Amino acid sequence: MRVNHTDNPIKVLGQYLLEGLYPQKKSCAFCGRHWSLSRLSAGLCPICLQAWRQIRADHPICPVCGSFDCGTPCAGPCADMKTLDCIIAAAPYSGVYRQRIMAFKYNGYKSLADPLAYMMSGAWREKEQILLSGSDRAPVLVPVPMHIEKEKARGYNQSRLLAYALSRELGFPVQELLCRPVEGRIQAGLDKRQRQTALDQVFQWARVTSQSGGAAILVDDVVTTSATLESCGKILADNGFDTVWGLTFAGGVGLGAR
C-alpha cells in the first residue's frame, strides 16, 4: 500500500487499519499465486525469488558472456566478444523465464518490465562493486534500439522498457544513444557468423555529441550469440565509451548459446 505522507494523519491511520483488516492481494507475476502486496517485490513473490536465487547459486554462470551451465571451456559466445567487457544475464533462457520473456516481448505484457528489471538489477549488483571499482561516474543505461516500423507494429521497444525500469532500480540514467534505421534480417535460427553479418550496418549512432569516456550498460531482453550486443558495443566504443557491459534478462543455456 502506498501512503501519501501529506495526507491527514487520521486518514493515514484509517488506511493502515483497513489494510490490516482487509489486506490487499495481488498475484505473483511469475507463478500466479496470490500474496499480500507487502510480500511482493516488484510483483514477485518470495517463493519465485528464492527459486531464482537458487538457480543462480547452483548453476555455473560464465563471468564473461553470462551463459548458464557454461561448463569448461565455456560453450557460449565468449570467443566472439571483442568490444564488451562482460555480459550479465539474470536468468537462463529456459522454463518459466523463457515463458515470461516471450510474453513480455511478443504478447504485450508490458507490466513484466518491472519484475524482469528487478531480477536484472539483482544480477548486476552481484558484480557491481568489482565492475565500478575506481570509477567516479555512474554508467549510463543504453537500450538496444528497434527499427521504427517494427516498434510501431509491436507498440513498444522491450529493451527501452527494461532500461527505464532498471534506472528506477539502480539509479543510473538512460541515454538512447543508438538507432536502427535498417530493419535487418530476423535473427532467430541464425548461427553466430550469420547473425554478425546480418547486423552489419544495422545499428547507428543516434547522437551528435556524448559524454567523453565513461561506461555504458547495453540493455536487452535476451542474449544468445552476443552478436547484437557486440554490434551496439562497437558503436559506443567508437564514440568515446571506454567500458561497455551488456545486461540482459535471459542468457543462453550451455550448448544452446552457440
The answer on 159 and 39 residing in a single domain is: no
The answer on 138 and 50 residing in a single domain is: no
The answer on 132 and 42 residing in a single domain is: no
Last residue of a domain, one of 58, 80, 111: 58
Task: Indicate the number of domains in the chain.
Answer: 2
**How many whole angstroms separate alpha carbon 47 and alpha carbon 40?**
10
The answer on 33 and 78 residing in a single domain is: no
Torsion of CA 152, 111, 252, 246, to 10 degrees: 70
**How many whole angstroms separate alpha carbon 233 and alpha carbon 82?**
9
Calculate the alpha carbon distances from 233 to 132, 146, 219, 247 in Å.
18, 15, 11, 12
Higher pLDDT, 19 or 85: 85
The answer on 194 and 160 residing in a single domain is: yes
The answer on 94 and 168 residing in a single domain is: yes
State residue 7's pLDDT score: 52
Which cell numbers in the block locate residue 214? 565513461
The answer on 153 and 30 residing in a single domain is: no
Residue 160 forms part of a structural domain: yes
pTM summary value: 0.84
The answer on 142 and 110 residing in a single domain is: yes
The answer on 66 and 52 residing in a single domain is: no
Closest CA to 91 of 126, 66, 127, 113: 66
Residue 4 forms part of a structural domain: no
Q: What percent of the chain clears pLDDT 90, i.e. is strictly above it?
A: 62
The answer on 134 and 252 residing in a single domain is: yes
DSSP state of 132: T
For 203-229, the pLDDT digits (tens) are 999 976 656 679 999 999 999 888 899
**How many whole angstroms separate alpha carbon 129 and alpha carbon 195?**
33
Mean pLDDT over 240-250 rounds to 96
Residue 225 forms part of a structural domain: yes
Mean pLDDT over 108-114 rounds to 96
Where in the sequence is the domain holding 180, given as residue range(s)?
60-257
> Taking a C-beta distance cutoff of 8 angstroms, is the pair 251, 67 a contact?
yes
Residue 92 forms part of a structural domain: yes
